[in-house]
Structure 1
């Protein structure tokens, strides 16, 4: 079966999918609430045993609370049932490494929201499709398990909304979804296996056709992608910003699309570039377990505000996991320097504090205090040639305020 034929099957599934009884869209100019979450990296519990190989995986990873991914998703679902947004938007990296079983289990969990009248719209991330790293972990062993292709992804998630897609791109899993009578969501897929990380020219032509019609119909458009559509920082651009993003930004600007929601970096950050505001929500699986609440007023002014999962045990475990990861990385990096144990400890603790604030989007609020820290001068003097020294310096220099909230008129 050719790749394009498979994508066509996936598109048909999305167009025809939905719950048995279609719901009624919110009326024109009716206030709306949506929730955006990203980078869940859910790993089905059947795929690990908390054994030696799995624990080594956790220690070598980037600070995700993978061992509690089941509890994280369950807590998120419960909070959504309490909030009752009109829609939940998930912008990719739904699974740890694209395991088919993880996708299937996650879809069943999300079905609870659909049954409660909450539409769930999903898009794949770079971890979710055709992933050769999909594995299970048992004792000291890691074993390859089945991943999914685009058609299987669409089939697994097709019943999570009572409002079928308006249009789907035959070349990717991009689609146009209805959020209200006057609001539509453009989901942009840049994760085709044959050209990962790229918004292809074919997909851009499809996007332009959708935007042209939406403009004629006086629709307000929000867009959603996994990779960023703006260059957020010097350290998080290459490999994080979608290739082709500049032409996509120009296209969105032409049709007055003002905001895109993304993820991928795991860092909470808001960046405006060439007229487009790209709101990168930090990973739901990394401290502080963020998701974003999006409200649209009757005049279609958008308000975005981060919230964190409310479970204090998950919060403390996520911070501990992330901080331990940072400490291990910093300890290893500083071993090459001739420092006293006290100097090394001070540099590590400052790096831990700064990394927490980088990922939760609050570093700029503490720049004056950091500048007065003796450990900051140690990093600048002794650690300036290390990768982590350059990382902390770059993130400190580029830190901006208000990464956790924004108000933006969409008309």
Structure 2
């Protein structure tokens, strides 16, 4: 058996004690929250806010980078108020892996710990050894990023120091949710392959880590413990139009081992879109629940109620940022956050890829309709709410015209209308099978 970093918990008897400390039994249901792709930064690296705000909007992916610290603080306050036991952060915690940003984030997460809530983190492709780590000013300057060892040290209290087991070949670890339920927090980032040109966006599980998963699963079986897992990259493709690079490069191996070892539920992120997909395997169904980015409309997070060996219920909730703003900074954009974030995401995502339509032979009116449809559907698709408008959109004259167009014009828009029959924001999973 390979070397493990086993955290042994021992009871110490104090001399002179005449009574034992009462044991507080935990409830059967484990409640935890899930969020992903927070892309946070230390506000101090933004030396020119006007320039940064313009840069954020021009990214074209709809992330509200200009309000990232405020959105995150509103989330932390909401978590403290509602008190889950754990909060999963499934990677891309930082904007571009700045060391100062990781330190700032860890400080914010300490507020959860101080309130008895355990954050559990894993890295994403932006977080470690990122050559794009820099300040945002005129001019900008490159600043220190972090190594894998530094990442684990900075987030020591967020899963690493109190892990049950750690993988010596990656930043993967096992955390005990209950004595009969463990979560595999799996490192899928390929930061060793980053170059001066940028960070490697694809993900995989290392060969040695698969061996480690097999050994953990064997221990779990012996102890009658149920395993669930979390990754940054998807283990099941969530949208046929999205690049397969968003899914683990060795996903077939992951699904085979998960199936053989009875790991039935995984939480992922990376694509910034809310979705749920399943895969029927030889021994049962595997479910990959993909969380949208916390910075993308409608800035929501997952709520999980899990009873080991019985049932897992998942739903989503948007952060009440408007109420938070009324109590903290009265920023007009945040006071009317649902409308502001919707319009921001629509504007930003409409501009991305617009050249595809403009280079075609379509009229100005047709291009305007294509861009509007793209922006509107993006808002609903990435929020996991496409079912709300799918029927009305498909009944429109524009849809009748769209389906007659070539793949370049219609492909992406039509892909957002294809569903797998699952509600992207809600699922109940029978964990007894």
Q: TM-score, normalised by structure 1?
A: 0.89
Q: Tell me which stretches of 4 or more aligned residues in structure 1 moved more than 6 Å.
A: none
Aligned to 2:303: 293
Determine helix, strand or coil for the equivalent of 1:295.
strand
Q: CA deviation at 1:250?
A: 1.5
Written as runs of structure 1 = structure 2, the 5 A alignment for 1:356-395 is 356-382=379-405, 384-386=406-408, 389-395=410-416
Q: Distance in 2 between matches of 1:214 and 1:399?
A: 32
Does the 8 A contact of 1:32 with 1:296 survive in 2?
yes
Aligned to 1:306: 316
Aligned to 2:88: 89
Determine helix, strand or coil for the equivalent of 2:411.
helix
The question of 1:64 aligning with 2:74 is answered: no
The question of 1:156 aligning with 2:154 is answered: yes
Cα deviation code 1:323-342 (max 9, x no counterpart) = 11122236433222344443
Q: In terms of Rg, which structure is larger?
A: 2
Q: Distance in 2 between matches of 1:57 and 1:327?
A: 15
Determine helix, strand or coil for the equivalent of 1:305.
strand
Q: Distance in 2 between matches of 1:162 and 1:228?
A: 22
- Shift of the 16–389 alpha-carbon distance from structure 1 to 2, 3 Å rule, reads farther
Q: Distance in 1 between matches of 2:26 and 2:183?
A: 15
Does the 8 A contact of 2:130 with 2:191 survive in 1?
no
Written as runs of structure 1 = structure 2, the 5 A alignment for 1:8-407 is 27=25, 30-48=28-46, 49-52=48-51, 55-139=54-138, 141-160=139-158, 164-194=162-192, 197-273=203-279, 274=281, 275-297=285-307, 300-312=310-322, 313=334, 314-329=337-352, 331-382=354-405, 384-386=406-408, 389-398=410-419, 400-407=421-428
Does the 8 A contact of 2:377 with 2:416 survive in 1?
no
- Shift of the 113–26 alpha-carbon distance from structure 1 to 2, 3 Å rule, reads farther
Q: Distance in 1 between matches of 2:345 and 2:23?
A: 40
- Shift of the 61–218 alpha-carbon distance from structure 1 to 2, 3 Å rule, reads same
Structure 1 residue runs of 5 or longer lacking an equivalent are: 1-7, 18-23
Q: Distance in 2 between matches of 1:216 and 1:25?
A: 25
Does the 8 A contact of 1:51 with 1:138 survive in 2?
no
Does the 8 A contact of 1:129 with 1:153 survive in 2?
yes
Q: CA deviation at 1:361?
A: 1.3
- Shift of the 25–209 alpha-carbon distance from structure 1 to 2, 3 Å rule, reads farther
Aligned to 1:20: none
Q: Distance in 1 between matches of 2:135 and 2:426?
A: 38
Q: CA deviation at 1:147?
A: 0.8
Q: Distance in 1 between matches of 2:173 and 2:160?
A: 15
Does the 8 A contact of 1:234 with 1:394 survive in 2?
yes
Q: Distance in 1 between matches of 2:187 and 2:159?
A: 18
- Shift of the 35–132 alpha-carbon distance from structure 1 to 2, 3 Å rule, reads same
Determine helix, strand or coil for the equivalent of 2:141.
strand
Q: CA deviation at 1:268?
A: 0.8
Q: Distance in 1 between matches of 2:100 and 2:338?
A: 26
- Shift of the 161–169 alpha-carbon distance from structure 1 to 2, 3 Å rule, reads closer
- Shift of the 85–99 alpha-carbon distance from structure 1 to 2, 3 Å rule, reads same
Determine helix, strand or coil for the equivalent of 1:160.
helix
Q: Distance in 1 between matches of 2:132 and 2:8?
A: 31
Q: Distance in 1 between matches of 2:24 and 2:53?
A: 45
Q: Distance in 2 between matches of 1:299 and 1:320?
A: 43
Q: CA deviation at 1:394?
A: 2.3
Cα deviation code 1:149-181 (max 9, x no counterpart) = 100000001023598111100000000001112
Does the 8 A contact of 2:275 with 2:291 survive in 1?
yes
Determine helix, strand or coil for the equivalent of 2:135.
strand
Does the 8 A contact of 1:363 with 1:399 survive in 2?
no
